[in-house]
Amino acid sequence: MLRDCVDLDALEQNAQRVMRPESWVFCDTGADDEITSRENITAWRKLKLRPRVLRDIVEIDTSVSLLGERVNTPIMVAPTGRHHLFHAEGERATARGAAAAGALYVMSTSGATLVEDVAKQRGAAPQWFQLYMQPDREATGALLDRCVKAGFKALVLTVDQPVPGWSPRAARTPVIPSPDVRSVNMIGQPIAKTAYDPDRKGLAMFPTNFADLEWLVKRCAMPVVVKGVLRGDDAKRCVGCGVKGIMVSNHGGRHLDTTVTTAEVISEVVEAVGTTAEVYVDGGIRRGTDIVKALALGARAVLLGRPPLWGLSVDGADGVRMVMDHMRDEMVRAMQLCGAANLAALTPDLVKA
């Protein structure tokens, strides 16, 4: 069991020991000089908390409504691909661990597990599906219908990777694709190459535009969330196309290096969107205090990318649950120390830049 933040740091080190070298590099690396992947973490830590005192914090409520679904925690498992690199059960174990923690899991298009198989691990926790939109709209529509039939509650369209980024570190320790491992939910079930595969360097893989987004919103029977937004004007335009949620994200610093951090722009996006859509944020969140800051700045929920993969690699579904439970425990303690008994009490005045 994780007892404190030091244990979470130790889990990261343990994950590096148990993963194959190429799996660890794929999990850990950022693009180019890896500036953004590091600054994502430090940006949250630079923000300061201004706690309230003498508040009743004996009972803490962390429940939240996410696109109409009530969940016990505002901490989601972010969409990350190729979980077979971290555990033999892949996305099935991740989904089961998230469900055990009562957390919403966002499944990635680039997983090597059928959406129907992941849906079987859901339990009482909702699941969303992340989409890299390919040009074949008929095939995309068929995948959307499968997700709806399997019980997924929302679609998350990633828009910040029209072309893959590049990681020198990953190029030195590459994941060698196997014909036996395929992205089974993508059109044609291609071999599960990573975005850093040399064959994909400079290739425009997912050049989605606003017209595509408008089509997707009309075609999809689920509410649509756009992931990868770092500007208020883009967020507002996405909402104008009919999306119900915005994920403030720079893809964990994995594609375009030296972008702004998500901590820097969450307030701008929240202000631009107002009450017309829900706003979520990921990128460098490692502590319960980070979560409290994000929620206080207007995010309805946060997403964790790499930490659940550390837990998955070390202890499968139980490891994912352990990470999610630990982060919620840290968040609850930070809420109590800030004088906030529920998420509504996390307001911008608690944070000072």
Over its C-alpha atoms, the chain yields an Rg (Å, rounded) of 19
- Gap between the Cα atoms of 26 and 195, Å rounded: 10
Buried b (16+ CB within 10 A) or exposed e, 49-75: eeeeeeeebeeeebebebbeeebbbbb
Would you state the pLDDT for residue 4? Answer: 79
Do the Cβ atoms of 182 and 141 come closer than 8 Å?
no
The reply to whether 251 belongs to the active site is yes
pTM of the model: 0.97
pLDDT of residue 205: 79
Question: Over the stretch 132-188, which tens digit does the pLDDT of each residue have?
Answer: 998 899 999 999 999 999 999 999 999 999 999 999 999 999 999 988 889 899 888
Domains in the chain, start-ordered, CATH in brackets? 5-48+57-346 (3.20.20.70)
Kindly name the residue from 83, 84, 87, 251 that is annotated as catalytic: 251
Whole-angstrom distance, CA of residue 242 vs CA of residue 249: 19
Any residues with CB less than 8 A from the CB of 266 and at least 6 apart, and which?
248, 279, 281, 294, 297, 298, 299
- Which residue ranges of the chain lie beneath pLDDT 70? none
Strand (E) positions, 235-282?
245-248, 278-281
| pLDDT score at 113 | 96
Alpha-carbon gap, residue 187 to 69, rounded angstroms: 29
Angle between helices 262-273 and 232-240 (to 10 degrees): 40
What pLDDT is recorded for position 135? Answer: 87
Q: What is the pLDDT of residue 188?
A: 86
Q: Please, what is the Cα angle at 300 between 296 and 301, to 5 degrees?
A: 100
Q: What is the pLDDT of residue 51?
A: 98
Look up residue 240 and give its two tokens: 């104008």
Under 8 Å between Cβ of 97 and 75? no
Beta strands 64-66; 69-71: pairing state: antiparallel
